[in-house]
Structure 1
């Protein structure tokens, strides 16, 4: 959105001064206030927009991450850490359930990511963080978040976060480890997951719809890993890359990696030579990859992608 011109602002400031000190009614017209509000909000949204990168696989048997993903995919994903440099993390299935590890406040190397999943696993998720505006940089803010038998990671920003925090129960708020808006999202989605039961994508889709009603313009893309499922939320509100956030970090916009434009929040999938199915955000070479359906929750297996639509609800 283009901001109001300086001439418009000066003229209206003078008119407001001549009419009195009131801000509404006898001051700046409400229509102009709304224009300013929308412009400021668009800037804030862009600065705090969806800026993390995600990668995951589900395999036919326990596999090392490098074998499941392919060394070329792993290398190109690691290279994105020069932009998405606020930390990294991984979650993986074990015989006992799901485990996770995070490294906060520093970029990942290719070696870090090769070792991130320490044992062969039937499924794993990887995450590169570029923190949203106003969030911390410690381990409590790093993703994936682990709670019970679920590891969760989100590419997006929910602003204002207090709106979602207010919708949580006291018990849900007590479970939070940090101030990250993505952790609030995870807490809300857990209502749709019964411990020990099969993941129902329709229930998760309904929970995502509730969050979407509160945040109509947010990217809600997310990966959820459980002992029995890899569930992927693809609901980006078609947000482009947050170029203002990159510029604010001093990054050269002409030197950004591929996939950092209008297609920035498209999730894609393919099968690899290992027999694993991989799902990823953009930024890696994507020849032969297929986009996931928009506004769906998908359960991924090595052989299939089963997608459930996210229902539409009126905005809160």
Structure 2
């Protein structure tokens, strides 16, 4: 269970430029609950770069720099609240990366033992890590390697998993050299209230975390820049992403394709 943030823009800018100084600070403060590491990936020219740190991002100057000091046409950033049983180490820290594709996840898929049976040891080793997110990424890559466009591979995998694991939460951000994909799929997923209680934050719990923890929201700026975030940010201009939907943003044109996951027919991956 984690926090997600991304931006795409027509020219290199920082995430802080897109969402504003106050929102950038507010998002980093979500690290007071999501304490199990942070990571970021961004487009550097035609290459996708990544940085991960398994310590909390709340007061981490590198996270502050990532949000505000390194311009890019596309960046995603992740704060981790580890699913029980998965250690806080760099190999389990998001975003995961294979070649020029990176993935960050908010949610969980249980039971993990049944999910793990879906991939081989080699497929999981290619992704790295040992978490449910790593398995989900391996399943997406299996489809993509077989020739499916990345957006198709992502939505097909999520649709298949949501059918088999109906209480799963699969909010995803996927970034490549050509696109940013956001998935909002979590109807029926239980909110981790016990983790909120264990945090001891009380009245300092971030906004919307009890009622809308898995909500994804988006907004578009006048220059065409698009931002996507998990719940926890306040302020005007944010629009809630519809449940069980996915969007693809073309990084060259900043055009948006939207797909309803319920309506998407899917064949099981070979």
Same fold (TM over 0.5): yes
Query: Which residue pairs with 1:218 in the alignment?
Result: 168
* Rg comparison, structure with higher value: 1
Query: Which residue pairs with 2:91 in the alignment?
Result: 140
Query: Which residue pairs with 1:279 in the alignment?
Result: 228
Query: Which residue pairs with 1:25 in the alignment?
Result: none
- Find out whether 1:294 has 2:243 as its counterpart: yes
Unpaired runs of 5+ residues, structure 2, are none
- Find out whether 1:64 has 2:8 as its counterpart: no
Q: Deviations over 1:206-262 (max 9, x none)?
A: 11112212311011000000000000111012535311122234342x331111122
What CA distance in whole angstroms lies between the structure 2 residues aligned with 1:174 and 1:71? 39
Return the match for 2:137 from 176, 186, 194: 186
- Find out whether 1:237 has 2:194 as its counterpart: no
Greater helix proportion: 1
What CA distance in whole angstroms lies between the structure 1 residues aligned with 2:220 and 2:60? 21
Query: Which residue pairs with 1:119 in the alignment?
Result: 70
Q: Deviations over 1:136-155 (max 9, x none)?
A: 01101101111111110000
What CA distance in whole angstroms lies between the structure 2 residues aligned with 1:286 and 1:272? 14
User: How many residues are paired up?
Assistant: 262
What CA distance in whole angstroms lies between the structure 1 residues aligned with 2:144 and 2:4? 22
- Find out whether 1:131 has 2:87 as its counterpart: no
Deviation at 1:108, TM superposition (A): 3.1
- Seen in structure 2, the aligned counterparts of structure 1 residues 238 and 266 have a Cα distance that, compared at 3 Å, is farther
Q: Deviations over 1:126-173 (max 9, x none)?
A: 111111111101101101111111110000112222212211134313
What CA distance in whole angstroms lies between the structure 2 residues aligned with 1:304 and 1:240? 33
- Find out whether 1:158 has 2:109 as its counterpart: yes
Greater strand proportion: 2
- Is contact 2:18-2:225 (8 Å) kept? yes
- Seen in structure 2, the aligned counterparts of structure 1 residues 176 and 71 have a Cα distance that, compared at 3 Å, is same
What CA distance in whole angstroms lies between the structure 1 residues aligned with 2:60 and 2:197? 25
What CA distance in whole angstroms lies between the structure 2 residues aligned with 1:77 and 1:151? 21
What CA distance in whole angstroms lies between the structure 1 residues aligned with 2:140 and 2:150? 12
- Is contact 2:16-2:24 (8 Å) kept? yes
Task: Report the aligned-residue RMSD.
Answer: 2.5
- Seen in structure 2, the aligned counterparts of structure 1 residues 312 and 241 have a Cα distance that, compared at 3 Å, is farther
| TM-score where L is the length of structure 1 | 0.76
SS of residue matched to 2:117: helix
- Find out whether 1:89 has 2:44 as its counterpart: no
Bigger mean CA offset, 124-133 vs 197-206: 197-206
